Amino acid sequence: MAVSHTELYKLSATQAAERIRTNQLSALDYVKALLERVRDRDPQVGAWVFLDENAVLDQAKKLDELPAERRGPLHGLAVGIKDIFLTRDSDMPTRYYSRLHAQDGNAAADSACVGLLRSAGAIIFGKTATTEFASMTEGGRCANPHNAKRTPGGSSSGSAAAVADFQAPLSLGSQTGGSIVQPASYNGVYGFKATWSTISTEGMCRVSVSADTPGFYARNVDDLELLAHLFRLDSLLAEPAPPLSVNDARIAFIKTHVWPNAEPGTWAAWNLAQTLLAENGATIEHVELPDSFENCLEWRKTVVTEETRAAFLPSVSNLPGPVRTWETRATYSKALGCKC
Residue 2: predicted pLDDT? 61
Tell me: the pLDDT tens digits for 312-330?
888 777 665 544 443 444 4
For the chain, the average pLDDT equals: 90
294 pLDDT more than 50: yes
Cβ-based neighbour number of residue 313 at 10 Å? 15
User: Where exactly are the structural domains of the chain?
Assistant: 5-231, 243-258+271-292
Residue 16: predicted pLDDT? 98
Residue 329: predicted pLDDT? 43
Residue-wise DSSP of 14-46? HHHHHHHHTTSS-HHHHHHHHHHHHHHHHHHH-
Q: Fold for 5-231, please state it.
A: Amidase signature (AS) enzymes (3.90.1300)
More confident position, 2 or 151: 151
Residue 214 is inside which H or E element, if any?
A: strand 213-218
3-class DSSP assignment, residue 285: strand
Say how far apart CA 287 and CA 195 lie, in whole Å: 24
Tell me: the pLDDT tens digits for 217-269?
999 999 999 999 999 998 776 666 677 788 889 999 999 988 999 999 999 99
Tell me: the pLDDT tens digits for 155-202?
999 999 999 999 999 999 999 999 999 999 999 999 999 999 999 999
Q: Considering only 151-155, 169-173, 275-279, 311-315, which range has the smallest mean pLDDT?
A: 311-315
Residue 107: predicted pLDDT? 86
Catalytic amino acids? Answer: 82, 155, 179
Residue 135: predicted pLDDT? 87
Say how far apart CA 239 and CA 16 lie, in whole Å: 30
C-beta separation of 227 from 215 below 8 A: no
Say how far apart CA 117 and CA 125 lie, in whole Å: 11
Residue 266: predicted pLDDT? 93
Residue 238: predicted pLDDT? 62
Q: What is this structure's pTM?
A: 0.86
Q: Considering only 71-85, 97-111, 185-199, 269-283, which range has the smallest mean pLDDT?
A: 97-111
More confident position, 107 or 254: 254
Residue 338: predicted pLDDT? 42
Mean pLDDT of 61-68: 97
Residue 241: predicted pLDDT? 64
C-beta separation of 100 from 140 below 8 A: no
Residue 1: predicted pLDDT? 55
